[in-house]
């Protein structure tokens, strides 16, 4: 058995260490990455639901996810978590750690958690998030939850990556105004008013229901710290997933997700190569930025084609 076959076997068996190695290979874009992704069982990936959970900082996303994990584990489901964190300006790695935020589930063999950094991207995700979700799905995780970094109105990448998008708000944070201005409520499948025991929660729910009239969007309330509303939320998510599969929306969304992932990966790989080429120039950089960009792109593309021929 060669190295790639061993990694794929470990993924199928749900080995956390092997899953971690595979995701690291994808993040680094090393020689094993393509072979791993090509060997993934697409049937397992299609069988899983990728759930995106987003919302402003302070809304209680991580606490809510902790409760959802507990709910799914009680029902015997294996759960994957891709937790997207801000990048360290020094190392480029995730600043917050998955074990810190989800310590309760860190030692559960039925829960696979991976923190990934945005690497400077502003859409709330990183280019490898989709591939990480596929690897987790191939290991038997269903659902796979992607928690975005929490950057508010900029956080739109998740819409192109998740089967179902849950947008979490909380009363008293100005989230209702921010969400409506940003238009994020138009993209979400579920709007959750967390911290429903706080003042202003009922008014926020009414506002959101009014704002989503005529749209296929569910509004519900939870109090994650008190484990209230979690089962209702899980049922709503399950019903939406079932309906999307029955109507064909699921497959259509997956096709768009693949297009989005390809573009994101291409942009990230190209950015790295362009930066390396720019930094390698010995002469002073002067002139029209647009012209410089065009020349850099031509140089990088020619170099790639020549290396392929060799």
Indicate whether 147 belongs to any domain: yes
What integer is the mean pLDDT of 206-212? Answer: 88
What integer is the mean pLDDT of 131-145? Answer: 95
Residues 163 and 51 sit within 8 Å (Cβ to Cβ):
yes
Residues 275 and 136 in one domain: no
More confident call, 87 vs 241: 241
Indicate whether 1 belongs to any domain: no
Residues 272 and 151 in one domain: no
Per residue in 211-247, pLDDT (tens digit) is: 888 888 999 999 999 999 999 999 999 999 999 999 9
Indicate whether 32 belongs to any domain: no
Per residue in 18-45, pLDDT (tens digit) is: 999 999 998 887 788 889 999 999 899 9
Indicate whether 55 belongs to any domain: yes
- Please state the domain count of the chain: 2
Residues 99 and 232 in one domain: yes
Using the predicted structure, report yes or no on whether residue 248 has a pLDDT greater than 80.
yes
More confident call, 65 vs 278: 65
Using the predicted structure, report yes or no on whether residue 55 has a pLDDT greater than 90.
no
Per the omega criterion (within 30 degrees of 0), is the bond before 143 cis?
Answer: yes
Mean pLDDT for all residues in the chain? 82
Residue 91's pLDDT is what?
44
Residues 73 and 188 in one domain: yes
> The domain spanning residue 153 has which CATH number?
3.40.50.300
Residues 178 and 277 in one domain: no
CA-to-CA separations, 9 to 3, 6, 36, 73, 105, in angstroms, rounded: 10, 5, 11, 24, 24
pTM for the predicted model, two decimal places: 0.81
Residue 66's pLDDT is what?
93
Which of 218, 247, 276 finishes a domain? 247
Indicate whether 13 belongs to any domain: no
Indicate whether 15 belongs to any domain: no
Residue 199 pLDDT grade (very low, low, confident, very high; cuts 50, 70, 90): very high
Residues 115 and 51 in one domain: yes
Please name the residues in contact with 224: beta carbons below 8 A apart, sequence gap of 6 or more: 60, 63, 64, 66, 67, 194, 195, 230
Residues 237 and 150 in one domain: yes
More confident call, 247 vs 126: 247
Residue 121's pLDDT is what?
46
Coil, strand or helix: which one is 212?
A: coil
Residues 187 and 86 in one domain: yes
Residue 92 pLDDT grade (very low, low, confident, very high; cuts 50, 70, 90): very low
More confident call, 182 vs 222: 222
Across 67-81, 115-129, 138-152, which has the greatest mean pLDDT? 67-81
What integer is the mean pLDDT of 109-131? Answer: 71
Indicate whether 2 belongs to any domain: no
Residue 76's pLDDT is what?
97
Which of 216, 247, 278 finishes a domain? 247
Which of 227, 247, 267 finishes a domain? 247
Residue 143 pLDDT grade (very low, low, confident, very high; cuts 50, 70, 90): very high
Lowest mean pLDDT among 188-202, 238-252, 278-292: 278-292
Residues 55 and 168 in one domain: yes
Residue 94's pLDDT is what?
43
Residues 226 and 96 in one domain: yes
Residues 211 and 267 in one domain: no
Closest CA to 135 of 32, 251, 256, 55: 32
Indicate whether 223 belongs to any domain: yes
Domain that holds residue 304: 258-309
Residues 193 and 92 in one domain: yes
Q: Quote the CA–CA distance of 125 and 117 in Å, as a whole number.
A: 8
């Amino acid at each position: 058995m060669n190295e790639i076959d061993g990694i794929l076997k470990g993924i199928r068996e749900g080995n956390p260490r092997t899953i971690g190695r595979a995701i690291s290979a994808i993040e680094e874009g090393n020689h094993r990455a393509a072979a791993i992704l090509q060997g993934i069982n697409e049937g397992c990936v299609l069988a899983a639901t990728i759930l995106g959970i987003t919302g402003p900082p302070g809304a209680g996303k991580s606490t809510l996810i902790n409760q959802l994990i507990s709910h799914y584990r009680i029902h015997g489901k294996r759960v994957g978590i891709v937790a997207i964190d801000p990048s360290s300006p020094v190392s480029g790695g995730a600043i917050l750690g998955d074990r810190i935020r989800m310590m309760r589930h860190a030692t559960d063999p039925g829960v696979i958690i991976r923190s990934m950094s945005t690497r400077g991207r502003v859409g709330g995700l990183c280019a490898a998030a989709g591939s990480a979700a596929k690897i987790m799905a191939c290991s038997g995780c269903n659902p796979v939850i992607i928690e975005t970094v929490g950057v508010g109105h900029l956080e739109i990448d998740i819409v192109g990556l998740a089967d179902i998008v849950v947008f979490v708000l909380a009363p008293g944070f100005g989230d209702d105004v921010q969400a409506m201005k940003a238009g994020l409520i138009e993209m979400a499948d579920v709007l959750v008013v967390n911290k429903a025991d706080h003042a202003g929660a009922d008014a926020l729910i009414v506002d959101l229901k009014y704002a989503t009239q005529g749209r296929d969007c569910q509004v519900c309330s939870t109090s994650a710290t008190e484990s209230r509303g979690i089962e209702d939320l899980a049922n709503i998510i399950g019903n939406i997933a079932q309906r999307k599969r029955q109507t064909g929306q699921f497959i259509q969304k997956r096709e768009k997700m693949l297009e989005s992932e390809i573009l994101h990966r291409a942009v990230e790989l190209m950015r790295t190569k362009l930066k390396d080429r720019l930094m390698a120039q010995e002469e002073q950089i002067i002139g029209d930025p647009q012209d410089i960009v065009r020349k850099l792109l031509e140089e990088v593309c020619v170099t790639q084609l020549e290396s392929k021929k060799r």
